[in-house]
A and B are shown apart, each in its own frame.
Chain A
Amino acid sequence: MPFTETALRDEYAAAVEQFSGRTLDAVRDGGGAAVPVGTTGPDVATDLDGPARRPLLAAARVLGANLLAPQLLVGAPPDEATAALLAEARRALPVPTAGTEAGALAIAWQDWAARCVLAATPHPDTGAAAPPPPAPPGPADLGWQVWSVRMAQLSVLALPGLDGAVHDAARAHTLDLARGTVRAMLRRDPTTAVRLARWLAWAQADGRPVRLEVEPVLDRIGFVGDGTARSGLELAVARALLTRAPWKGAQR
């Protein structure tokens, strides 16, 4: 029934916003937990035992590796309660389906990111040892416009500690990432722009030359962004990446 579906979708979207907001606060606090276990009041931990559990699990699945960004960005151990929730969400809910091959590949890489961050916790996936998905096509095949939009869909991978074929592509094509960012800004698409700016910040932290000054882009998005906590989280992660020196271990 349309009304029911709409209500459910709204409920899930609200949960994603709520979780994004908590993770955003944690990033700003410099490494706190997205799931503050042990606290009381109308927070996620309490809700988890109530009827709103399923939307929250769905939200955890949507946010994936981003849930552990607060710790990854400061080099702290992943928050255990958050990791437990993410692991449970991945067990309870199926991998989303995609309508296209490119969409399926994007989901596979997002899933890979979640698997990777959980591998370092007491809650690894049963499929933790599975090989990574195939490398997505690069800008030479797709053109920088389409490629950069696909990279924006993979912004959750732009985190310390994750490294793979997608990261190699980001390292090799920083100009295309920058062009994609500028294009998104000019097309008044701050949602795509902030995700690409996050990749640029990641590349800069990785020690790659970046042809676009990222800070002014982030400042601008701070004013003209879509105002959602989810985009705010992308912005905060990008800012946190920028403040890092090139990190040890991720350099090649």
Chain B
Amino acid sequence: MTDTQVLATAQQLGSRALAWLHTGQLGGFDRIEDNTIIDLADPNDVYKPLCEAALAASLILRDGVTGAHDARLARELLEASWAQLRCGDLLYERQLRHVTVIDPLETYAHFARVGYRHPAMDELLESLGRLRSVHAVEIPGNRQLALANARRIAGLSPAPDWPALAQATWLGALSEPWTIAWVIGYHVTHTVFHLTDWGARPECLPEPMHAYLRDWLPVWLDVWLETEQWDLAGELLIVDSCIGEPVTGRVGWDALAAVQQPDGLIPRDGATPLSYDDPEDTFREHEHTAVVGVVAATVALSRALGGAPVAA
């Protein structure tokens, strides 16, 4: 059973991060320009953060463990993001043009999991799924899992060979835990996110990986808290909730809560948040960590309350 103090800390951290995200996005940051075309000169510029915020909001609505106020903020975030994506048209056009690109499907899944559908996109994805090419794209193991999970959420067939996909990752190899590096840390967290569909299916994590994570998560969290890598530490807290009974206790939550600013901003790294002259740049710098904070809190609370996702 998760410590109630941990849950209280998580709830407050997530709620404040959500408010910060909501204020920034609905205040005008992360705008996709009206003249944006499907080829996106820089997908990481606005499109990716927008989709990540949609992910956080969709999990809040999927898990249904927040209060009415936060649920409203989440719904508004999703509505605003969906509108920016022209109710899915932008995703559809990008997927139509780029047969083997994953991000339109991956983004669509965040919306689809809580009931936003685009019939032409559904039809297109079914059609593309029949191509050998789509399943043979050469991408890293954790990205293959992202693709598989997005297809699972969107209800697409055929089902992939999950054990083979899991095996083909750094985590699946049960790699020597002292060889992890910062970027591999993100590969590990995303392997778990996609295998368990962000904590909704902890049983989908193969048992050897589960036991391995229970052994080494506390070490990795300790090391990245010491080096003040709050973003990665937050992702490790999500993993801790995704795998069932958490093993890292309260230390990570207390550390993140201690660095969270009064307005809800959680610094990406370091003792004080990096700040720019343009407030939108500051928002962009720390936006991912806010998403991490919201997701970490949502999954922790959801798992502690039994973990049964509700229909949104």
Confirm or deny: A252 has a beta carbon within 8 angstroms of a beta carbon on chain B: no
Q: How far is the CB of A137 from chain B (nearest CB, A)?
A: 18
Q: How far is the CB of A213 from chain B (nearest CB, A)?
A: 7
Stretch at the interface among A152-160, A165-173, A175-183, A242-250: A175-183
Q: How far is the CB of B173 from chain A (nearest CB, A)?
A: 13
Confirm or deny: A121 has a beta carbon within 8 angstroms of a beta carbon on chain B: no
Point out the residues of chain A lying under 8 angstroms from B222, CB to CB: 145, 183
Query: Which of these, A145, A211, A217, contacts B178 with CB under 8 Å?
Result: A217
Point out the residues of chain A lying under 8 angstroms from B180, CB to CB: 186
Contact: A179 with B215, CB < 8 Å? yes
Closest to B249 in A: A143
Contact: A181 with B178, CB < 8 Å? yes
Interface residues on B, range: 10 to 19
Confirm or deny: A185 has a beta carbon within 8 angstroms of a beta carbon on chain B: yes
Confirm or deny: B218 has a beta carbon within 8 angstroms of a beta carbon on chain A: yes
Query: Which of these, B176, B216, B219, contacts A213 with CB under 8 Å?
Result: B176
Q: How far is the CB of B92 from chain A (nearest CB, A)?
A: 44
Contact: B176 with A183, CB < 8 Å? no
Query: Which of these, B215, B218, B223, contacts A186 with CB under 8 Å?
Result: B223
Confirm or deny: B115 has a beta carbon within 8 angstroms of a beta carbon on chain A: no
State which residues 202-228 of B face A: CB under 8 Å.
215-216, 218-220, 222-223, 226
Confirm or deny: B140 has a beta carbon within 8 angstroms of a beta carbon on chain A: no
Contact: A186 with B178, CB < 8 Å? yes
Confirm or deny: A91 has a beta carbon within 8 angstroms of a beta carbon on chain B: no
Point out the residues of chain A lying under 8 angstroms from B226, CB to CB: 187
Alpha-carbon distance A220/B226, docked complex (angstroms): 23
Known: A145-B222, A186-B223. A179 touches B216 (CB 8 A): yes
Q: How far is the CB of A242 from chain B (nearest CB, A)?
A: 16
Most buried by B among A181, A186, A211, A217: A186
Contact: A175 with B178, CB < 8 Å? no
Contact: B219 with A175, CB < 8 Å? no
Confirm or deny: B270 has a beta carbon within 8 angstroms of a beta carbon on chain A: no
Closest to A175 in B: B215
Closest to A216 in B: B176
Contact: B215 with A211, CB < 8 Å? yes
Confirm or deny: B177 has a beta carbon within 8 angstroms of a beta carbon on chain A: yes
Point out the residues of chain A lying under 8 angstroms from B219, CB to CB: 179, 182-183, 186
State which residues 159-206 of B face A: CB under 8 Å.
176-178, 180
Q: Chain A, 175-204, contact with B by CB distance < 8 Å: what is the 0/1 string?
A: 100110111011100000000000000000
Contact: B216 with A185, CB < 8 Å? no
Alpha-carbon distance A183/B222, docked complex (angstroms): 8
Alpha-carbon distance A212/B216, docked complex (angstroms): 10
Point out the residues of chain A lying under 8 angstroms from B177, CB to CB: 182, 212
Query: What are 11 A-B contacts defined by CB distance under 8 Å?
Result: A144-B218, A145-B222, A178-B215, A179-B218, A182-B216, A185-B178, A186-B178, A187-B223, A187-B226, A211-B215, A220-B178
Given contacts A179-B215, A182-B177, 4 further A-B contacts (CB under 8 A): A144-B218, A183-B222, A186-B220, A212-B177
Interface residues of A (CB under 8 A from B): 144-145, 175, 178-179, 181-183, 185-187, 211-213, 216-217, 220
